[in-house]
Amino acid sequence: MNTLTTGINLPNGAAATPAIGGTRYKEVKNAMLAALAAHEWKGGETIPSEKRLAERFGVSIGTLRKAIDELVADNILVRHQGLGTFVAQHQRDRHFFRFFRIVRQDGDKTYPSVTLVQFRKAKATRDIATLLKVETGARVFTFINRLALHGETVMIDNITVPEARFPGLTEAALRSRPSTLYNFYQDAFNINVLGTEERVRVAVANELESKLLEVPHGTPLLEVRRVAYSYHQAPVEVRISHANTARYEYVGASASHEEPL
């Protein structure tokens, strides 16, 4: 089957180490990313003052500001005039459609109703392990969500996350989460999803998808394979979605959509 790669939506310059010959502000930026990855500053919290950070990294205020400017441009930090600079948070109302790209064919966009169908502990298959950069057989959590739009079940998400990054994740916590899934990742596990890579192809409904989507077994569906990344392009989630496109369609990352489920 043909596969369409929609591209990686990752912040520029988020490599784990600065490039050889890179300028000083790039090194500062990567040091700040390392601090964020270590949960030194969490979502919604203010970072230290420019003076303190400049002293910490041994650079001028101008160099530090250039590093912060890039992190702000990458939507990793947010400046609030008169209040300081904060670690960005996933916000449902402002960013919901950044990573949710299924819309009705007339262009109408709406929030899906999400129902948890299944939750279990498992061991990573070779393919999943490769995508998550863990060992084959590593402990993972897998769960299935049913997404409805305008009262109609439209998409089934099969999601896998590594237990090492989500210690203590439970079915009860997923069912009772008050916000989007990526907001839940950030609040409960200090995992900030910064970008995704998606591949799109045609698939057919299996027995479970046929039942949940209320379509005949073997019905053609749109399959979206996503890997979600946090700081330093560290993979934190694999999501395989199957959507019924009879009345809905996929809108690629070039559109101005803004936040994940």
Interval 71-125: pLDDT, tens? 888 778 888 888 889 887 765 444 545 678 899 999 888 889 999 999 999 999 9
In percent, the amount of the chain with pLDDT more than 90 equals 54
Neighbours of 231 (CB within 10 A): 21
| pLDDT in the model for residue 155 | 97
pLDDT number for residue 194: 85
The encoded tokens of residue 148 equal: 């409805």
DSSP letters spanning 37-103: HTTSS-TTPBPPPHHHHHHHHT--HHHHHHHHHHHHHTTSEEEETTTEEEE----HHHHGGGS--EE
What is the spatial distance between Cα 84 and Cα 46, in angstroms, rounded to a whole number? 7
Write down the residue that tokens 């490599």 correspond to.
15
pLDDT tens, position by position, 170-207: 999 999 998 889 989 988 998 988 889 999 999 999 99
Span(s) in the chain for CATH 1.10.10.10: 12-87
Could you tell me which CATH class the domain 12-87 is placed in? Answer: mainly alpha
Top pLDDT among 136 and 93 is at 136
CB atoms within 10 A of CB 65: 18
Q: E strands within the chain?
A: 3-8, 77-80, 84-87, 102-104, 113-123, 139-149, 152-162, 195-204, 220-229, 235-243, 248-250
List all residues 6 or more positions away from 11 whose beta carbon is below 8 Å from its beta carbon. 71, 74, 75, 76, 194, 195
Provide the whole-model pTM: 0.73
Could you please state the CATH topology (level 3) that the domain comprising 91-250 is classified under. Chorismate lyase (3.40.1410)
Looking at the chain, which residues constitute the CATH 3.40.1410.10 domain(s)?
91-250
Angle between the N-to-C axes of helices 50-57 and 24-37, in degrees from 0 to 180, rounded to the nearest 10 = 110
> Quick check: 224 and 250 in contact, CB under 8 A?
yes
d(CA 220, CA 69): 45
